[in-house]
Amino acid sequence: GDEVVAVRPVQRPLLAIATNRRVLLTPMAQVNVLAGAGRGIKLIKPDPPGVLDFFTVSKDDYLLVQSKKGEEKELAVAEQPIYNRGAKGAVIRGGIAQFSVKAREEELEDSELDSG
């Protein structure tokens, strides 16, 4: 069955990545709190098979994308358009083979302290 991995209070925007080369950045205020069991929310309108992943981000973070041809791009979160929840999002040219979010330096240093 389904499993809850973690629950954290979050105020930062959400960045969703979908299989149709789309990225959606939306404010956390667009995401309704669900009090009980339900079907969840629609964050982005992806083409099948669906959403690959999503992250909480700050304006200083970067999205690292590797295209299907092996080209790497670093996209500043601050330069991404902001959409309402449920939109299709922006297209990433060249497709998405791999991706990750690179946090600003202060957050990296804090997370290194927490793990050691």
How far is 67 from 87, CA to CA, in rounded Å? 23
Number of domains present in the structure of the chain: 1
Residue 2 lies in a domain: no
Long-range contacts of 72-78 (CB under 8 A, 24+ apart): 74/102, 75/23, 77/13, 77/15, 77/25
In a domain, 5, yes or no: no
Asked whether residue 54 is domain-assigned, the answer is yes
**pTM (two decimals):** 0.69
Q: Would you write out the chain's pLDDT as a tens digit for each of its 116 residues?
A: 455 655 666 788 888 888 778 888 989 888 777 666 666 667 777 777 777 788 889 989 999 998 888 899 899 999 999 999 888 888 888 888 888 888 866 544 544 444 44
What CATH number is given to the structural domain containing 96?
Answer: 2.120.10.90
Cβ contacts of 76 within 8 Å, gap of 6 or more: 62
Distance CA 104, CA 77 (A): 11
- The answer to the question of residue 110 being in a domain is yes
Question: Hey, which residues does 66 pair with through a beta bridge?
Answer: 72, 98
Residue 88: domain span: 14-115
Q: Does some domain include residue 69?
A: yes
Is residue 3 in some structural domain? no
